[in-house]
Amino acid sequence: MFIKAIYKYGDKMNFFKKTDLLIIATILIVSALSFGIYQLFLGGSAARAEIYYEGELVESIRLERGEEKEFSVPEAPSVVFHLWPDCTISFSQSDCPDQVCVHAGRIGTVGEFAACLPNKLVLKIVSDGKDEKEAPDIVIGN
Amino acid sequence: MSKKILCFFMIVLITVSLFGCGKPSLNRYEAQYLDVFDTATFVISYNDSQETFDAQTRLIHEELMKYHKYYDIYNDYEGINNIKTINDNAGIAPVKVDSAIIELLLFAKKMYQLTDGKTNVALGSVLKIWHQYREEGLEDPAKAKLPSLQELQDAALHTDINDVMIDEKESTVYLKDPLMRLDVGAIAKGYATERVSMLAKEQGFQSGLISVGGNVRVIGMKGDTGELWNVAVQNPDTENTEKPYLHLVNITDHSLVTSGDYIRYYVVDGVRYHHIIDPVTLYPSAYAVSVTIVCKDSGVADALSTALFNMSYEEGLSLIEGITDTEAMWILPSGEEKFSSGFEELMTK
């Protein structure tokens, strides 16, 4: 049937009508624009920040663009976390002497982590949904 | 008719995407610990069930805890002779220890030879001074001080690794010099990570990643996807949120270890002093901001990352190029990145 079809239109090689191409192009442009708008205003980073106390998950926050706040978890009230508008999060204050958690800075990429040993806290960034092939499994520094 | 052709292509496309989205049979599991080697430990694995993963992580955690106690230089544990026990008996008597300690110290001597003394577990007397000043400086930043060169030079007289007497037959270790102290911080985490990873692999941990404070060991591929593990090297500029990591390194059945100067430090008169001490100058090493090693054995990677941190890029490059299946990446104080000949092949382009 397809061979017939190609044969039938073969002399002009005209598989698609102009309107079909127009519809396809419109769909592609609208999709690209919606994706862009979604990513820019609503999409955030598709990542979550998880906070663990003694190995147990005690807080999980979606990293949303534009959102900013400081907060603590009940298990460690002397530690303050800062959620930044650019989808990053950090230990902003801690009563630990070495300040290693604060020195770790702002993190927001899947695979990044920061830890405060004296307060038994781990802050790590995980994917909010699908596994991305090119995402780091872990980000290593020292 | 063109509509029919379009329809056919759409059906093909939908069918392909449906098959493409088929879920892999193994799930990803993660666990973390903060109670071994004074650092954060992460275990990631692709497994068929939470129960299997829990059993594997229990074994990994127990084993790491065992090595943590053996290699501890600050604390005593009931019924265990550890590195601290050896230090406490320096110049007094040989100490009977577990084979895990004998093997670590034999490995340490090998690494000393390989790195021309740049990784020296017998540097404890010097490192102890820095540790003390750092702790005091962190406790009360206004009173943070630097040790004097004289104090450090006096301690450096007691760092000859040949004074570490290992009796394999008797399973004892004796420090001939009474003022000598062992500090295995530069190799113990990596060595333990390697041993634990190999044991876990034997017990069925076939697709996983173990990271003990920046000592990463990966086993197999990521589940049944056939994908390599992606280990990212952090950007030393930790405030740069646009570029949190510099490079993504793709590995399987290898280790990646990074030594850096930008997280663990204390500040004296506005200047940062980090924790990796150059055995020549006796002050924090200034050759690099971060050094990353990729090789099979995590213990070797750990020892080499410290050694390269304590030598110039040129010396380090010449050392690395002479060791098979071993690559390095430097971030120099200028911010410039340098790579050994095969490192860039491991990176995601």
Of B32, B233, B257, the CB nearest to A55: B32
Residue B42 touches chain A, beta carbons under 8 Å: yes
- Return the CATH superfamily for domain A47-127: N-utilization substance G protein NusG, insert domain (2.60.320.10)
Judged by CB atoms within 8 Å, which residues 75-134 of B form the interface with A? none
Judged by CB atoms within 8 Å, which residues 45-84 of A form the interface with B? 52, 54-55, 84
Model confidence band, residue A131 (pLDDT cutoffs 50, 70, 90):
low
Residue A140 touches chain B, beta carbons under 8 Å: yes
| Per-residue confidence (pLDDT) for residue A10, from 0 to 100 | 47
Task: Please provide the average confidence, as pLDDT, over all residues in chain A.
Answer: 82
Residue A17 has pLDDT above 80, yes or no: no
Q: What percent of chain A clears pLDDT 90, i.e. is strictly above it? A: 51
Of B227, B236, B245, the CB nearest to A136: B245
Of A8, A88, A140, the CB nearest to B241: A88
Of B244, B248, B263, the CB nearest to A103: B263
CB-CB neighbors (< 8 A) of B231 in chain A: 136-138, 140
CB-CB neighbors (< 8 A) of A55 in chain B: 31-34
Residue type, B146: L
Q: What percent of chain A clears pLDDT 70, i.e. is strictly above it? A: 77
- Are B3 and A86 an interchain contact pair (Cβ–Cβ within 8 Å)? no
Helices and strands (DSSP H and E) totals, chain B: 10, 15
Residue B11 touches chain A, beta carbons under 8 Å: no
| Per-residue confidence (pLDDT) for residue A132, from 0 to 100 | 66
Dist CA B103 CA A11 (whole Å): 80
The CA–CA distances, whole Å, from A43 to A89, A130, B74 equal 17, 14, 48
Which of B332, B272, B327 has the alpha carbon at shortest distance from B300?
Answer: B327
The pairs formed by A6-11 with CB atoms below 8 angstroms and a separation of 24 or more are A8/B1, A9/B1, A9/B2
User: Is the model more confident about A44 or about B137?
Assistant: B137
CATH number for B83-175 (one of 1.10.8.60, 1.10.10.10, 1.10.3980.10, 3.40.50.300): it is: 1.10.3980.10
Of A120, A122, A135, the CB nearest to B230: A135
Of A99, A107, A142, the CB nearest to B259: A142
Judged by CB atoms within 8 Å, which residues 5-34 of A form the interface with B? 5, 8-9, 14-17, 20
Dist CA B213 CA B51 (whole Å): 25
Residue A2 touches chain B, beta carbons under 8 Å: yes
Residue B32 touches chain A, beta carbons under 8 Å: yes
Mean pLDDT of A76-96: 95
Q: What is the mean pLDDT of each run of 10 residues along chain B (349 residues)?
A: 60 52 74 94 95 96 98 97 98 98 98 97 97 93 95 98 98 98 97 98 96 95 92 88 91 96 88 94 95 98 97 97 97 96 91
- Are B34 and A97 an interchain contact pair (Cβ–Cβ within 8 Å)? no
Pairs of CB atoms within 8 A across A/B? 135
Interface pTM, i.e. ipTM: 0.86
User: Is the model more confident about A131 or about B65?
Assistant: B65
Residue B227 touches chain A, beta carbons under 8 Å: yes
- Are B244 and A16 an interchain contact pair (Cβ–Cβ within 8 Å)? no
Residue B5 touches chain A, beta carbons under 8 Å: yes
**Owner of token pair 């999060």:** A89
Q: Using CB atoms within 10 A of its CB, is residue B155 exposed (0-12), middle (13-18) or buried (19+)?
A: buried
Query: Taking the model in full, what pTM does it have?
Result: 0.84
| Per-residue confidence (pLDDT) for residue B23, from 0 to 100 | 53
| Per-residue confidence (pLDDT) for residue B262, from 0 to 100 | 81
| Per-residue confidence (pLDDT) for residue B20, from 0 to 100 | 47
Q: Using CB atoms within 10 A of its CB, is residue B286 exposed (0-12), middle (13-18) or buried (19+)?
A: middle
- Are A139 and B232 an interchain contact pair (Cβ–Cβ within 8 Å)? yes
| Per-residue confidence (pLDDT) for residue B344, from 0 to 100 | 95
Q: Is A15 helix (H, G, I), strand (E, B) or coil?
A: coil
pLDDT in tens, A66-77: 889 999 999 999
- Give, in degrees to the nearest 5, the angle at Cα A67 between A61 and A70: 70
Of A20, A100, A140, the CB nearest to B232: A140
| Per-residue confidence (pLDDT) for residue A42, from 0 to 100 | 47
User: Side by side, which strands form the sheet with A113-116?
Assistant: A56-62, A47-53, A121-127, A113-116
B253: left (phi over 0), alpha (psi -120 to 50) or beta: left
